[in-house]
Amino acid sequence: MSNFVENQNWRYATKQFDATKKISDADLNTLKEAVRLSASSYGLQPYKVIIVENPALREELKAAAWGQTQITDASHLFIFANDLNLDTVSVDKYINNISETRGVPVDALGGFSDMMKGVIANLSAEAKHIWTAKQTYLALGNLLNAAAELKIDATPMEGFNAAKFNEILGFDKLGLNASVIATVGYRHDEDKSQHQKKVRKSHEELFITL
pLDDT tens per residue across span 107-141: 999 999 999 999 999 999 999 999 999 999 999 99
Residue 155 forms beta bridges with which residues?
183
Quick one: pLDDT at residue 183?
98
- Rounded Cα gap, residues 36 and 147, in angstroms: 14
pTM: 0.96
Beta bridge partners of 78: 51, 182
Each residue of 21-80: pLDDT tens digit?
Answer: 999 999 999 999 999 999 999 999 999 999 999 999 999 999 999 999 999 999 999 999
Residues above pLDDT 70, as percent of the chain: 100
Q: Are 42 and 204 in contact (CB under 8 A)?
A: no
Rounded-to-integer distance, Cα 79 and Cα 179, Å: 8
Query: 20 Cβ partners below 8 Å, 6+ apart?
Result: none
Q: How far is CA 16 from CA 19, 62, 72, 92, in A?
A: 9, 14, 10, 44
Q: Give residue 1's pLDDT.
A: 63
Q: How far, in Å, CA of 17 to CA of 175, rounded?
A: 32
Q: Tell me the angle at which helices 125-149 and 25-36 cross, rounded to the nearest 10 degrees.
A: 140
Whether the pLDDT of residue 152 is over 70: the answer is: yes
With a pLDDT cut of 90, the percent of the chain lying above it is: 99
pLDDT at 127: 97
pLDDT on residue 103: 98
* Distance between CA atoms of residues 110 and 97, nearest Å: 14
Taking only the tens place, the pLDDT of each residue in 5-26 is: 999 999 999 999 999 999 999 9
pLDDT for 2 equals 72
Across the range 93-100, mean pLDDT stands at 98
Q: Is the pLDDT of residue 185 over 90?
A: yes
* Domains of the chain with bracketed CATH: 2-206 (3.40.109.10)
> How high is the mean pLDDT of the chain?
97
